Chain A
Amino acid sequence: MSSSNILVEMRDVQYTYGANQKPTVHIPEFSIVRGEELFLYGPSGTGKTTLLEMLAGVLKPQQGTLKILGCEFSQMSAAARDAFRAEHMGYVFQNFNLIPYLTAQENIELPLHLSAGRRARLGSVDSEMVIRALCGTLGIGDILGKKVGELSVGQQQRVAVARALLGKPDLLLADEPTSALDTDHREKFLKLLFELSDLYGTTVVFVSHDRSIEKLFTRSISLESINKVV
């Protein structure tokens, strides 16, 4: 596997909350390949959220190197990491993904307003058309003008996916987004997600404690196997 295929590269990454405690995360070596659908599982307290937030650039590794798309995160300023996240990443939460006082469409458009880089990824195409097409695929084309409060949980998750994938980001980070859905909807949701991520060439990193869906991913890894602390 050539190095240009590597999206995320971690070496000796450590993160500790507070002082004089043992680290929450210590990953000697780990990498994520471009285009894969990675399932990271582990019980609570194994550092899932910490790892995700480091990948998102919200937390900065205190030791070691974390490279995404060749950029060294540990040497970037917080604002630079925020800008990088806006341009290259989508994020889907476990629940409460949307800003309640905006419509579905306004929620989806948010990253475009916050990041010129993300806007540039759309090319010269009218963003309205891209959103319509994307939402048509996700089956939420008819609810774009609705207030978030009027949407079902399933619809909200799909709006969140539309926001995360708009502008074909390099990396999609998902924090147990299916835990609020039943088994049937869970599989449908993931299939739809992978269809789009394959189409866009987006790498998916999905963390969960629920292993019933791992067979749908291209790779499944236990967090305990890469985190030396636990």
Chain B
Amino acid sequence: MVFLKLAIKSLKNRVFTTGLTVLSIALSVTLLLSVERAKRAAEEGFTQTISKTDLIVGARSGPLQLILYTVFNMGNATHNVSYESYEDIKKNPAIEWTIPYSLGDGHRGFRVVGTNEDFFKYYHYRGSQKIALAEGDVFKGLWDVVVGADVARKLNYKLGERIIVTHGVTKGEGVQNHDDKPFVVSGIMKPTGTPLDRGVYMSLQGMEALHIDWQSGAAPTPENAVPREQLNKDTLKVHTITAFFVGSKTRIDTLRLQREINNYKEEPLLAIIPGVTLSELWNGLSYVEGVLRMISWMVVVVGFMAMLIALTTTLNERRREMAILRSVGATSSQLVGLLVFESALLTLLGVISGAVLSLVLVAALKPWLETEFGLYLTGSGFTAREWVYMLVTLVGGTLIGLVPAMRAQRLALKDGLSVRL
């Protein structure tokens, strides 16, 4: 086909402008695809922050508040759950496992969580990922803590490090330190890419021991303080927890269990299904996604404009070329075809290089995005939506090519065979 040859040779002849045009389209496509992929990763990461947990139970408040303070370390619980209620509910035959969660204290900007060893056994995120330790062991003794990956990295903690817990804050700097009762780092967790990385984990008894000598929320005076040495993990009695996670035996049990807990007579409780609440929360944030997408489309339009300018500015130089093609028998609609074909070719090259570039970027930046941002770029290849985006870009670029093509046709009809520049 002579037009393919003409178009390719002509573009090759203008390799610099052609290259820049292809580059500008490729970069816009890369941006568009990367935003889409990052959005996909963010959504997956977000809704998979916790998985395999059927219910989260806390004192009665709102579902969003409950999920925010348990899973995302945002905000505080207004009430606690009594340990008796927890023990009572735990006996329900529909329940397979539970993880108790006790919040309220912090350590140098990170939150402290009181829990038990079931936390390491049953807590899942991103499908079937479990918490694993990079170094050391889980908290066996009363004064042992396990620190999340971010905590260890930011504060440069090693095993055996002695740490002091701050009272009453889950974030930021506090005023009162539990400096009479230091803890020892017994284990360091592997990175999970979830808010778990920013927590310090200890036994429920450890959390209880911190506050045993506190009265009505006030720090103990020196005379009634209980020394660290007198406390023993086996004799300490836990009074309250903040929330607990529940895994039910079958999915069908979950809804019944949720209803039973929400109607629990002894204490006002709230049980939520985390998957549902997480999706609701994500949808509430989806305008951010819309804004990002709009910006990437705007970048694509700018890419088209660059192509339009590049093609239109070369038209004047090409008027004689058009006259020669006319003289050897090309019709004016064939000239339109030639120029539209050129734009289509440019856009195709741009889309292909943009797609390849985005794949290369994803492959290259994957480890960095995972450790720095907790963005897990899952899945290879492109989704249906991404294929549609590429197709839309291709069609758009070809249509944009009509603008210089129509102008070329007008010039060709006006010039005829005599171009006097």
Q: Are B418 and A49 in touch, CB under 8 angstroms? A: yes
Q: How far, in Å, is B7 (CB) from chain A's closest CB?
A: 11
User: Which stretch in B9-17, B228-236, B355-363, B368-376 binds the other chain?
Assistant: B9-17
> Is A101 a contact of B330 with CB atoms below 8 Å?
no
In angstroms, how far is the closest chain B Cβ from the Cβ of A48? 9
- Known contacts A49-B418, A101-B9: A78-B327 contact under CB 8 Å: no
Is B186's CB within 8 Å of the partner chain A?
no
A94 to B330: give the CA distance in the assembly, Å.
20
Enumerate chain A residues within 8 angstroms of B331, measured Cβ to Cβ. Answer: 78-79, 82-83
Which chain B residue lies CB-closest to A92? Answer: B327
A30 at the interface (CB under 8 A from B): no
- Give Cα distance in the complex from A135 to B333, angstroms: 32
Who on chain B is nearest to A91 by CB? Answer: B327
Interface-located stretch among A66-74, A109-117, A178-186: A109-117
- Contact residues in B for A163 (Cβ distance below 8 Å): 328
What is the predominant secondary structure among interface residues of chain B facing chain A? helix
Q: Does B321 contact A (CB under 8 A)?
A: yes
Q: How far is the CA of A87 from the CA of B9 in the complex (A)?
A: 25
Residue ID in chain A nearest B3 by CB atoms: A113
Is A101 a contact of B324 with CB atoms below 8 Å? no
Q: Which of B1-36 contact A (CB under 8 A)?
A: 2, 6, 9-10, 12-13
Choose, from A53-61, A126-134, A220-228, the stretch at the interface.
Answer: A53-61
B interface residue count range (under 10 / 10 to 19 / 20 to 34 / 35 or more): 20 to 34
- Set of chain A residues within 8 Å of B330, measured between Cβ atoms: 82, 86, 114
Please indicate the chain A residues that have their CB under 8 angstroms from the CB of B108 in the complex.
none
- In the complex the two chains form, is A86's CB within 8 Å of B416's CB? no
B343 to chain A, nearest CB (A): 17
Within the complex, the shortest CB–CB distance from B9 to chain A, in Å, comes to: 5
How far does the Cβ of B410 sit from chain A's closest Cβ, in whole Å? 14
B9 touching A102, Cβ below 8 Å: yes
In the bound complex, residues from chain B placing their C-beta under 8 Å from that of A101 are 9-10, 12-13
Distance of A146 from chain B, by nearest CB (Å): 15
Q: For residue B419, which residues in chain A have a CB less than 8 angstroms away from its CB?
A: 96
Residues of A within 8 A of B418 (CB): 49, 52-53, 175
Which listed residue, A99, A113, A118, touches B324 by the CB 8 Å rule? Answer: A99
> What A residues does B325 contact at CB under 8 A?
99, 110, 114
CB distance from B418 to the nearest CB of A (A): 5
A113 to B330, CA, bound (A): 10
Task: Kindly state whether residue A197 has any CB partner on chain B within 8 Å.
Answer: no
Contact flags (1/0) for B319-346 with A, using CB distance below 8 Å?
0110111111111111000000000000
Residues of B with Cβ closer than 8 Å to A?
2, 6, 9-10, 12-13, 320-321, 323-334, 416-419
A-B contact pairs, 7 of them (CB 8 A): A86-B329, A91-B327, A91-B328, A93-B323, A101-B13, A111-B329, A115-B328
